[in-house]
């Protein structure tokens, strides 16, 4: 007897529809779980491996905007506004990168008022704070009152390129670190020496540079870094809302 589609029962049709619906829901659920892993919120706060640096930066900004940085002011400026009481945009990027990649061992060169290192501290999960190590160095010392809220941040006073200061910074860690953030003297030799001195001694996962578009020296240095690191160097200026001064991220290892 030939196949007659009119013999299909309503029950069979309903089961088929139900199965299709379940399959759709399962696919959507798996996609959602993968997304949550990617931004560090799913079970155990682990994150899905994302190899594209641009995607990492995009996710970092997305995650960072959800972190409360209200007590991380930018502080004194050289612009028309003498003092900025709020966090600047790229602070959210820094906090998001720390949380997304679960970075806990961090060096900052160029403390200023402390808003950036405080923002990175806010990006660390509370149960990781005890085992974290955050070190910031500058030739000036500001905002002592604000730093009282962050006793786990170690402040070092001095020139990061002086041997005794470098010894203190490197000696603060007993293993490879996660991040070096540099926002110091925006000169080619000074910035380059800081990068290669501390990257060689501390082997960071990431190096982040502020003000890569600020002047010819920084533009030249960033171009050289892009040539050296290729796809592992990404201009995150647009993503971090830092289009004018510029913001660069290097995946060092």
Contact at 8 Å (CB) between 217 and 182?
no
Q: pLDDT tens digits for the chain (253 residues)?
A: 444 444 445 545 455 545 566 665 665 555 445 444 444 443 344 444 567 999 999 999 999 999 999 999 998 877 677 788 889 999 999 999 999 999 999 999 999 999 999 999 999 999 999 999 999 999 999 999 999 999 999 999 999 999 999 999 999 999 999 999 999 999 999 999 999 999 999 999 999 999 999 999 999 999 999 999 999 999 999 999 999 999 999 999 9
Q: How far is CA 222 from each of CA 83, 90, 152, 192, 217, rounded to the nearest angstrom?
A: 29, 18, 32, 10, 9
Tell me how long the chain is: 253
Hey, how many other C-beta atoms are within 10 angstroms of the C-beta on 3?
6
Fold classification of 51-251 is: Rossmann fold (3.40.50)
CB neighbours of 59 closer than 8 A, spacing ≥ 6? 38, 39, 50, 96, 100
pLDDT for res 247: 98
Q: How far apart are CA 131 and CA 222, in angstroms?
A: 33
Shortest CA distance to 35 belongs to which of 58, 2, 10? Answer: 58
Q: How far apart are CA 214 and CA 247, in angstroms?
A: 10
Q: How far apart are CA 115 and CA 118, in angstroms?
A: 5
pLDDT for res 206: 98
**H helix count then E strand count, the chain:** 8, 9
pLDDT for res 75: 84
SS3 assignment, position 150: coil
pLDDT for res 7: 47
pLDDT for res 45: 44
pLDDT for res 21: 60
Contact at 8 Å (CB) between 160 and 180?
no
Contact at 8 Å (CB) between 96 and 123?
yes
SS3 assignment, position 164: helix
> DSSP assignment of 87-128, as one string?
--HHHHHHHHHHHHTT--EEEEE--TTSHHHHHHHHHS-GGG
């Amino acid at each position: 007897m030939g196949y007659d589609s009119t013999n299909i029962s309503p029950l069979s049709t309903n089961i088929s529809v139900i199965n299709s619906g379940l399959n759709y829901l399962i696919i959507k659920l798996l996609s959602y779980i993968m997304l949550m892993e990617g931004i560090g919120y799913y079970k155990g706060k682990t994150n899905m491996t994302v190899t594209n640096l641009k995607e990492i930066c995009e996710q970092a900004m997305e995650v960072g905007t959800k972190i409360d940085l209200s007590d991380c002011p930018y502080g004194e400026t050289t612009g028309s506004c003498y003092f900025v009481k709020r966090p600047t945009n790229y602070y959210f990027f820094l906090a998001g990168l720390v949380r997304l990649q679960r970075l806990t061992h961090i060096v900052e060169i160029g403390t200023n008022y402390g808003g950036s290192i405080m923002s990175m501290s806010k990006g660390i999960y509370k149960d990781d704070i005890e085992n974290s190590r955050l070190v910031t160095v500058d030739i000036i010392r500001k905002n002592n009152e604000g730093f009282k809220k962050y006793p786990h941040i170690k402040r070092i006073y001095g020139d990061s390129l002086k041997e005794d200061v470098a010894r203190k910074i490197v000696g603060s860690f007993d293993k490879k670190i996660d991040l070096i953030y540099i926002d110091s003297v925006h000169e080619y030799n000074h910035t380059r020496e800081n990068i290669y001195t501390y990257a060689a001694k501390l082997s960071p996962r990431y190096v982040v540079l502020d003000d890569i578009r600020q002047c010819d020296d920084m533009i030249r240095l960033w171009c050289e870094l892009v040539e050296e690191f290729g796809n592992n160097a990404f201009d995150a200026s647009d993503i971090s809302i830092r289009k004018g001064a510029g913001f660069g991220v290097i995946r060092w290892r």
